[in-house]
Structure formats: structure tokens, C-alpha cells
Amino acid sequence: MKIADRIIVPLDVPTEEEAIALLDQLPQVTFWKVGLELFVASGPSILQELKSRQKRVFLDLKFHDIPNTVAGACRSAARYGVDLITVHATAGKDALKAAQAAVEVGAAEADQAVPQLLAITVLTSLSARSLAFELKIPLELPEYALHMALMAQECGIPGAVCSPQEVSHLRQACGDRFLLVCPGVRPAWAIAADQRRTLTPREAFEAGANYLVIGRPITTAADPGAAFQQICEESFPIA
């Protein structure tokens, strides 16, 4: 798979019109992420737009609720024919197992391929300090992220979302077939902003990431296409 196909660009804009403008600016991007802001604003029509352009879709709504509600949301989301869907690992084992069963049912009902579920381990905006002092979680952050990923894998979830700083540890523990997607990745020339646990794209791929989510360094650049191309060129793993 080409490096360009392993970089997911988020449509983190408030309207469908702005999202379509980004799609028009970046026709070379094959994989797009739709998150809460845009999906709440536009609903499934933006997913239909992406599908009509033969794009891959990461539906990043981070479902987190009781098992029955998570399952219902995953079943509905799977009907859209998206490629990736997120659910918080902290919803617990019952919710994770129900979510995996539900995407299989929803995809079958709509005659779609089964999307891959990704468990959110620890949000990349959280630091070790906030985990310990705000959330009162006694584990060290890497240990906690690994626990969340292993629990998800035990429940049949095929992948996880983690910080690039945890990806090497998760890859070693979860094996080569477990899908690892890393947001919070920043090229050396970009500002980290609200991301706390970052690596460069090349470092993240070398550590074992399957896909990277890279937004603002591309979408807010003066020339988004040139920024995307530069990141692709800089991302080839040495190892």
C-alpha cells in the first residue's frame, strides 16, 4: 500500500460546504475522517459524498454508552459502508463485544463490507498528569493504553487508536494483524497545538502504525496539496 493511502485526513470543519471544498482541494487524498462536528452538522450526506468519490471513510464518532446503545449505534453506522468506526474501550467488555457483533449485522443488512472497529485507548490530548490527577487512573499512561488495547482485542475488536508514542508497545503486544491508527502525528515543521504525545509521520510508521491521522498541518496550510505531498515524501519508513 502506498504511503499516501495510509494517511487519513480529517474533515474537521463545521459545514458540509467547507468539507466539499477540502475534498476539491485535495483530490489526491484517498482516506478521509469524519468526526463529531461535521457528522452532527451534515449527517450521512457527507458520507454519501465521499463514497460517490470512491474515497475510504473513517467514521470517528467514538461511541461510548451502555452496551445496548453502543450496539445500536454501531449497527446503524455499519449500514453506511464506511471502512473504520471508533468506540471507546472504556465502555467496557460487554459494550465492545456487542459493538463487534452489531457491525457485522448492520453491514449484512445493508449488503456492505463489515467495517473495522477501532477501540479508543487514551485520547491523544491527555497527558500522564491528567490521567493520574484528573481521571484518578493509577496506571502509567503506556500501561493503561496497552490494557485498553488488549481488552479490546480479547473482545474481538480488530484494532485500536493510540498515540504514536504507545504504538510500538502495542504492536509488540498485540501482534502484526492488529490494526493501529495514530492521530496526534505532526511533521517536524508543524505546531503540536493541543496534541500532547506526538511523533513525526516517519517515526510513527517505523514504530508500527498502520495508518496516521494528520489534519491541521495539511488542511490549514497555505497550499494543502503541497503539504500533503511533503508529508508523504517525509513519511517513508527507513526500517
Angle at 196 between CA 14 and CA 85, to 5 degrees: 50
Domain presence at residue 82: yes
Domain presence at residue 239: no
As a whole number of angstroms, the distance between CA 84 and CA 194 comes to: 24
CA distances from 107 to 61, 75, 104, 123, 202 (A): 17, 7, 5, 27, 34
Angle at 11 between CA 9 and CA 16, to 5 degrees: 150
pLDDT band at 238 (very low <50, low <70, confident <90, very high): low
Q: For residue range 140-174, what is the model confidence (pLDDT) as tens digits? A: 999 999 999 999 999 999 999 999 989 999 999 99
Residue 157 phi/psi, 5-degree rounding, is: -75, 130
Q: Which residue is listed with cell 515524501?
A: 233
| pLDDT above 70 coverage of the chain, percent | 95
pLDDT band at 191 (very low <50, low <70, confident <90, very high): low
Domain presence at residue 208: yes
Exactly one of 62, 93, 97, 136 is catalytic; name it: 62
Domain presence at residue 197: yes
Q: Which pLDDT value is given to residue 184?
A: 83
147 conformational bin, left if phi > 0, alpha if psi -120 to 50, beta if neither: alpha
Domain presence at residue 204: yes
Domain presence at residue 211: yes
Domain presence at residue 168: yes
Residue 33 phi/psi, 5-degree rounding, is: -110, 135
Number of structural domains the chain divides into: 1
Q: Are 94 and 133 in contact (CB under 8 A)?
A: no
| pLDDT above 90 coverage of the chain, percent | 87
CATH number at residue 211: 3.20.20.70
- Show the domain range for 228: 3-234
- Lowest mean pLDDT of 104-113, 130-139, 192-201, 205-214, name the range: 192-201
Question: Is 62 annotated as catalytic?
Answer: yes
As a whole number of angstroms, the distance between CA 148 and CA 126 comes to: 15
Domain presence at residue 176: yes
Q: Are 184 and 197 in contact (CB under 8 A)?
A: yes
